């Protein structure tokens, strides 16, 4: 269906009706809809139209209209997801329901350390609003999503080790169901403790809108760190990474907020792709693996108290003393500069060639074993593809990124992505008991794998819950 | 039905059949069943028989038999709950399924900081097994429950502020469903990150076995604190408690593990009931409210590092300097001794008279406001009843305990408990947006309030979920 067809399409009547509900600005079509049709990772579809409600009541009215007229809805928040979970398909028959104007209400309860917020608010705007009171929402991501997307994908991020995932930081939600009434349901509230039956909000967190559209939420806020210390550690061998994690956890305990691993390949390609990045390694020699370790403390330094730099130095010195075979080198530096290298990797790899990025998770003890297996087998099965793993070793997550350099034979193979994903996912799930989606979610990209790896019984549960929550077509992944 | 009737009951055939499945020791009747028929808070029923399987497979076989023969099942773990959620009713027709022999397997994964355990294992046994590796399960309770009960009630406890509830510390579960097959389902695993659709285990946590019996679990383990410091703080007025919480959170941050409040009434009655307890207050004068504050740190003290006692003293001195009107006094002491006073309160109040204990939760800013309202209105509505609140102010929880002294007119009123509960619960839920069960769960005691306060829509969701998981009669509360 082309845009010209759309102008003549039967949707014109619906567009007029929905404009009377949401105002002209609340319904966009044609060129104005284009930004909502393309996702963060080259996924592109065609929307029948884009709805932009400004309140839960408007979401309800818009959803009710679509359900009664059998128009499938794809909810979209910040559209920063990487699994094609927030964009329409190519049919031109789906309505995108964007939360980008549902961003008016934000109320901090400083005593409760919680914030009630519309689901269309950007993470950066939330944190800007909390900052004057010394608080923040502790999910650290490279992207800047809207809250509804973070909840519906249960985002994780680089400080999971300390603050957990989004699920852990949600106290309550308001959802709109895809039923003829566009029913509004409140689940949970500002309470931190509430054991009065089923915690139904859990069903809506991490399920990409399959059971309803999250329109408002109450979130836990944490105190902003006032001190930090960071270092790049070079493990003697990849097998030293896990003992190093245990040693550091044992020696700096409460302060540890990040334990990330970056493979030499990932760093090298990133430094090549993004020349403004500084190569921090002696003689420019990038090691096989590098760890980013960060300590944070939430109160202001006091006289007589050791700085976190000193705490980290002491802990590393103790490790050198007692287990000299674990740590080859340690580079200290301003936290922000070290993080820049880490946060540049996704973009750096994207520029380096054709990128297939798998978002895996394992028991912590299995991460490096898995990477080792892939490193060994990859050149045989996929010659020319470069293994560029990096990620959250501290919580078992790894972004297993595979790069086929521009112009290489592998890059030209149309089946490369499917073949790589199938091989990696099956090895991860079947051989290692791992997850094929540590934090990114299902979306269109992982639908086939959800279908394959999910027991039929759990699909039937999803169908049963969908039937009583949002029986109409809603969201991208089919969980039933 | 008397025990003599039972001997002649139609259950004899079932008992014989079940003994062939579970062995003689696995099925108990008569006097041997008595301990399983009485709960922790005077609730007593009559069981048709008691099943004591030793493995998930045996649970499955026993459940399958009961379902096929239409025998309702009441799962029971440590039987330490206080809402009559694990004991049979008076009909003599329900089978108690005890997990007390399902306690053979416990496997620590030290790299993953997780432990896979049978659901019948006692909390104390779990911690004893983890202790040699410097780890523990961070849910701190006065009682010593079995793990399955902790999961099915989503226990909270006195260090919630730091470690969260049970829900936050569960990675995976195995459940047996009450269907004709006694189906065994595994939900989650040892992974800390897994975003592959619905996180179904959440619906089994905190729902008292309504959807299935948890038989195994994988739990997060935390590092045992190596240093601690505690103090009893006397706030200048009850309204200073909340600002003190904020000040202390801001000044000791990561170290704060407990912020408990105890009313003077609760302390006085406890000291009277339990004479071996030492009165720690100057001249024996118990203040209006006392706070128990605890700091913990998970690593061994190092040279040049401030002790936690010093950190706490410094923080309190800063508060005295900057906000002299908040804190009237501070008593330092060995952590264990201060905790003994706090942990003795439930037993002390129980001995002081007829006790009606409400397990409420609020936004943190509302806890003291609510207590204040009740303190004002109680003497008018319930003369002679003493308000003895204590609990977890740091997370919004309060055990609002009401004591009618032995022999008082109020104590003799048969409607006292029902009238008190209705008044307190309605005020908490309707006027303050609070919860009538912060951490104890529903059980028989709160069933009527669940029925009253739960929207019909959520009950219909529970029925839908129950229909596809455990369609037969299972557990005490009816959630649908």
- Our CA-based measurement puts residue B134 at a distance from the nearest CA of chain A, in whole angstroms, of 9
Query: Which residues 45-74 on chain B approach chain A with CB closer than 8 angstroms?
Result: none
Which chain A residues have a beta carbon less than 8 Å from that of B191?
Answer: 361-363, 396, 433-435, 438
Could you tell me which residues are beta bridge partners of residue A116? A107, A218
Q: How many residues does the structure list for chain A? A: 480
> Which residue does chain B place closest to A394, by CA atoms?
B112
Give residue B7's pLDDT: 53
Q: Which of A197, A398, A438 to mutate to test the interface with B (most CBs of B within 10 A)?
A: A197
Q: Is the dihedral of CA A95, A98, A104, A110 positive or negative?
A: positive
Mark yes or no for CB contact B465/A464 under 8 Å: yes
A324: left (phi over 0), alpha (psi -120 to 50) or beta: alpha
- Is A167 near chain B, with CB under 8 Å? yes
Q: Which two tokens stand for residue A92?
A: 């031109």
Q: Which of A156, A207, A302 sits opposite B193 (nearest CB)?
A: A156
Average predicted confidence (pLDDT) for chain A: 94
What b/e string do you get for B422-452 counting C-beta neighbours within 10 Å, with b at 16 or more? ebbbebbbeebebbbbbbbbbbbbbbebbee
What span, in angstroms and rounded, lies between the C-alpha atoms of A31 and A7?
12
What span, in angstroms and rounded, lies between the C-alpha atoms of B305 and B315?
16
- Give the Cα-Cα-Cα angle B239, B244, B245 (nearest 5 degrees): 105
What span, in angstroms and rounded, lies between the C-alpha atoms of B196 and A433?
13
Give residue A9's pLDDT: 65
Mark yes or no for CB contact A207/B196 under 8 Å: no
Give residue B252's pLDDT: 92
Q: Which of B133, B181, B197 to mutate to test the interface with A (most CBs of A within 10 A)?
A: B197
Mark yes or no for CB contact A392/B193 under 8 Å: yes
Q: Which of A207, A435, A464 sits opposite B194 (nearest CB)?
A: A435
Q: Which of A113, A192, A198 sits opposite B203 (nearest CB)?
A: A198
A24 three-state secondary structure: helix
CB atoms within 10 A of CB A56: 22
Mark yes or no for CB contact B195/A453 under 8 Å: no
Q: How much is the average pLDDT of B425-438?
A: 97
3-state secondary structure chain B: CCHHHHHCCCHHHHHHHHHHHHCHHHEECHHHHHHHHECCCCCECCEEEEECCCCHHHHHHHHHHHHHCCCCEEEECCCCCCCCCCCCCCCCCEEEEECCCCCCCEEEECCCCEEEEECCCEHHHHHHHHHHHCEECCCCCCCCCEHHHHHHHCCCCCCHHHHCCCHHHEEEEEEECCCCCCCEEEEECCCCCCCCCCCHHHHCCCCCCCCCEEEEEEEECEECCCEEEEEEEEECCHHHHHHHHHHHHHHHHHHEEEEEEEEHHHHHHHHHHCCCCCCCCHHHCCCCEEEEEEEEECCCCCCCCCCHHHHHHHHHHHHHHHCCCCEEEEEECCHHHHHHHHHHHHHHHHHHEEEEEEEEECCHHHHHHHHHHHHHHHHHHCCCCEEEEEECHHHCEEEEEEEEECCCHHHHCCCHHHHHHHHHHHHHHHHHCCECCCCCCCCCCCHHHHHHHCCHHHHHHHHHHHHHCCCCCECCCCCC
- Our CA-based measurement puts residue B444 at a distance from the nearest CA of chain A, in whole angstroms, of 12
What span, in angstroms and rounded, lies between the C-alpha atoms of B231 and B312?
8
Give residue B1's pLDDT: 45
Give residue A7's pLDDT: 53
Query: Which residues 413-442 on chain A approach chain B with CB closer than 8 angstroms?
Result: 433-442
Tell me chain A's radius of gyration from C-alpha atoms. Answer: 23
Q: Which two tokens stand for residue A121?
A: 């608010």
Give residue A321's pLDDT: 96
Q: How much is the average pLDDT of B101-106?
A: 98
Mark yes or no for CB contact B392/A193 under 8 Å: yes
The answer to whether B59 touches B53, Cβ cutoff 8 Å, is: yes
The answer to whether A186 touches A204, Cβ cutoff 8 Å, is: no
Instruction: Give yes or no for residue B100 having a pLDDT over 70.
Output: yes
Which chain B residues have a beta carbon less than 8 Å from that of A154?
Answer: 195, 199
- Is A478 near chain B, with CB under 8 Å? no
Mark yes or no for CB contact B395/A192 under 8 Å: yes
Q: Which of A197, A439, A450 sits opposite B193 (nearest CB)?
A: A439
Which residues in chain A land under pLDDT 50? Answer: 1-2, 5-6
Q: How much is the average pLDDT of B113-142?
A: 96
Q: How many residues does the structure list for chain B? A: 480
Mark yes or no for CB contact A195/B441 under 8 Å: yes
> Which residue does chain A place closest to B184, by CA atoms?
A457
- Our CA-based measurement puts residue A22 at a distance from the nearest CA of chain B, in whole angstroms, of 27
> Which residue does chain A place closest to B435, by CA atoms?
A194
The answer to whether B353 touches B411, Cβ cutoff 8 Å, is: yes
The answer to whether A179 touches A82, Cβ cutoff 8 Å, is: no
Give residue A306's pLDDT: 86
Could you tell me which residues are beta bridge partners of residue A420? none
- Sheet with strand A47-51: strands edge to edge: A27-28, A47-51, A94-98, A73-76
Which chain A residues have a beta carbon less than 8 Å from that of B153?
Answer: 195
Mark yes or no for CB contact B202/A207 under 8 Å: no
The answer to whether B205 touches B154, Cβ cutoff 8 Å, is: yes
Class of domain A3-98: alpha beta
Mark yes or no for CB contact B297/A253 under 8 Å: yes
Q: What is the DSSP letter of A150?
A: H
Query: Which residues 83-112 on chain B approach chain A with CB closer than 8 angstroms?
Result: 109-112
Average predicted confidence (pLDDT) for chain B: 94
Query: Model confidence over B73-90: pLDDT tens digits?
Result: 999 999 999 999 999 999
- Is A207 near chain B, with CB under 8 Å? yes
- Which residue pairs from B264-269 have beta carbons closer than 8 angstroms and sit at least 24 positions apart in sequence? B264/B288, B264/B289, B264/B290, B265/B386, B265/B387, B265/B388, B265/B389, B265/B403, B266/B345, B266/B348, B266/B349, B266/B388, B266/B389, B266/B390, B266/B401, B267/B341, B267/B345, B269/B348, B269/B349, B269/B352, B269/B386, B269/B388, B269/B403
Question: CA dist B276 to B273, B287, B344, B348, B352, Å?
Answer: 9, 20, 11, 11, 15
Give residue B78's pLDDT: 96
- Is A305 near chain B, with CB under 8 Å? yes
Quickly state the pLDDT bin for B8 (edges 50, 70, 90).
low
Q: Which of A202, A305, A396 sits opposite B306 (nearest CB)?
A: A305
What span, in angstroms and rounded, lies between the C-alpha atoms of A43 and A88?
9
CB atoms within 10 A of CB A383: 10
Smallest CA-to-CA distance from A299 within A291, A287, A307, A289 is with A307
The secondary structure of A52-93 as a DSSP string is --SSHHHHHHHHHHHHHTT--EEEESS---SSS-SS--TTS-
Of all residues in chain B, what percent carry a pLDDT higher than 90?
91
> Which residue does chain B place closest to A398, by CA atoms?
B193
- Is A157 near chain B, with CB under 8 Å? no
What span, in angstroms and rounded, lies between the C-alpha atoms of A362 and A395?
8
Could you tell me which residues are beta bridge partners of residue B435? B361
Quickly state the pLDDT bin for B420 (edges 50, 70, 90).
very high
Q: What is the rounded (10 degree) CA torsion for A266, A269, A270, A271?
A: 120
Q: Which of B156, B163, B195 to mutate to test the interface with A (most CBs of A within 10 A)?
A: B195
Q: Which of A168, A193, A249 sits opposite B439 (nearest CB)?
A: A193
- Is B227 near chain A, with CB under 8 Å? no
Mark yes or no for CB contact A462/B364 under 8 Å: no
What span, in angstroms and rounded, lies between the C-alpha atoms of A171 and A188?
6
Architecture of A227-432 per CATH? 2-Layer Sandwich (3.30)
Mark yes or no for CB contact B246/A154 under 8 Å: no
Q: Which of A134, A202, A396 sits opposite B192 (nearest CB)?
A: A396
Instruction: Give yes or no for residue B27 having a pLDDT over 70.
Output: yes
Mark yes or no for CB contact B253/A223 under 8 Å: yes
Quickly state the pLDDT bin for B24 (edges 50, 70, 90).
very high
The answer to whether B36 touches B98, Cβ cutoff 8 Å, is: yes
Where along chain A do its domains lie?
A: 3-98, 106-223, 227-432
Could you tell me which residues are beta bridge partners of residue B98? B76
Q: Which two tokens stand for residue A241?
A: 């990474």
Give residue A421's pLDDT: 96
Which chain A residues have a beta carbon less than 8 Å from that of B392?
Answer: 193
Q: How much is the average pLDDT of B355-384?
A: 96
Class of domain A106-223: alpha beta
Instruction: Give yes or no for residue B231 having a pLDDT over 50.
Output: yes
Mark yes or no for CB contact A202/B203 under 8 Å: yes
Q: Which of B193, B254, B393 to mutate to test the interface with A (most CBs of A within 10 A)?
A: B193
Instruction: Give yes or no for residue B202 having a pLDDT over 80.
Output: yes
What span, in angstroms and rounded, lies between the C-alpha atoms of B26 and B465?
30
- Is A227 near chain B, with CB under 8 Å? no
> Which residue does chain A place closest to B477, by CA atoms?
A197
Could you tell me which residues are beta bridge partners of residue B357? B401
- Our CA-based measurement puts residue B181 at a distance from the nearest CA of chain A, in whole angstroms, of 13
> Which residue does chain A place closest to B467, by CA atoms?
A464
Q: Which of B193, B440, B469 sits opposite A160 (nearest CB)?
A: B193
What span, in angstroms and rounded, lies between the C-alpha atoms of B10 and B32?
19
Please report the number of interchain residue pairs, chain A to chain B, with beta-carbon separation below 8 angstroms.
245
């Amino acid at each position: 269906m082309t845009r010209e067809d759309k102008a003549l399409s039967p949707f014109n009547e619906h567009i007029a009706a929905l404009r009377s509900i949401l105002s002209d600005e609340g319904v966009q079509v044609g060129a104005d809809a284009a930004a909502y049709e393309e996702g963060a990772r080259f996924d592109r579809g065609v929307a029948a139209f884009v709805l932009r409600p400004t309140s839960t009541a408007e979401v309800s009215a818009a959803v009710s209209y679509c359900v009664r007229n059998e128009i499938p809805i794809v909810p979209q928040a910040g559209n920063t997801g990487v699994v094609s979970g927030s964009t329409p398909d190519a049919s031109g028959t789906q309505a995108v329901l964007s939360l980008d104007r549902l961003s008016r209400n934000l109320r901090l309860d400083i005593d409760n350390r919680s914030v009630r917020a519309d689901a269309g608010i950007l993470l950066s705007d939330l944190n800007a609003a909390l900052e004057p009171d010394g608080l923040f929402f502790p999910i650290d991501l490279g992207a800047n999503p809207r809250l509804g997307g973070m909840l519906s994908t249960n985002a994780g991020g680089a400080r999971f080790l300390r603050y957990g995932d989004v699920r852990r930081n949600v106290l309550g939600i308001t959802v709109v169901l895809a039923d003829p009434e566009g029913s509004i349901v409140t689940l949970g509230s500002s309470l931190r403790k509430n054991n009065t039956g089923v915690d139904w909000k859990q069903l809506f967190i991490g399920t990409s809108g399959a059971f309803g559209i999250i329109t408002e939420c109450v979130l836990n806020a944490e105190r902003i760190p006032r001190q930090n210390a960071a270092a790049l550690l070079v493990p003697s061998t990849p097998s030293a990474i896990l003992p190093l994690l245990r040693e550091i956890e044992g020696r700096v305990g409460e302060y540890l907020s990040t334990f990330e691993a970056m493979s030499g390949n990932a760093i090298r390609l990133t430094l090549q792709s993004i020349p403004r990045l500084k190569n921090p390694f002696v003689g420019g020699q990038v090691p096989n693996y590098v760890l980013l370790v960060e300590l944070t403390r939430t109160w202001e330094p006091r006289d007589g108290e050791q700085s976190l730099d000193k705490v980290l130095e002491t802990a590393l010195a103790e490790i050198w003393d007692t287990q000299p075979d674990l740590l080859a080198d340690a580079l200290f530096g301003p936290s922000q500069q070290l993080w820049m290298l880490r946060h540049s990797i996704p973009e750096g790899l994207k520029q380096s060639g054709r990128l297939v990025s798998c978002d895996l998770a394992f028991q912590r003890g299995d991460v490096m074993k898995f990477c080792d297996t892939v490193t060994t087998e990859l050149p045989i099965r996929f010659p020319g593809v470069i293994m560029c793993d990096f990620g959250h070793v501290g919580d078992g997550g790894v972004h297993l990124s595979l790069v086929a350099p521009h112009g290489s034979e592998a890059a030209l193979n149309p089946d490369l992505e499917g073949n790589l994903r199938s091989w990696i996912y099956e090895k991860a799930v079947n051989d290692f008991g791992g997850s094929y989606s540590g934090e990114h979610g299902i979306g269109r990209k992982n639908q086939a794998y959800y279908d394959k790896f999910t027991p039929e019984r759990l699909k039937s549960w999803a169908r049963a819950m969908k039937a009583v929550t949002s029986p109409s077509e809603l969201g991208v992944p089919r969980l039933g």
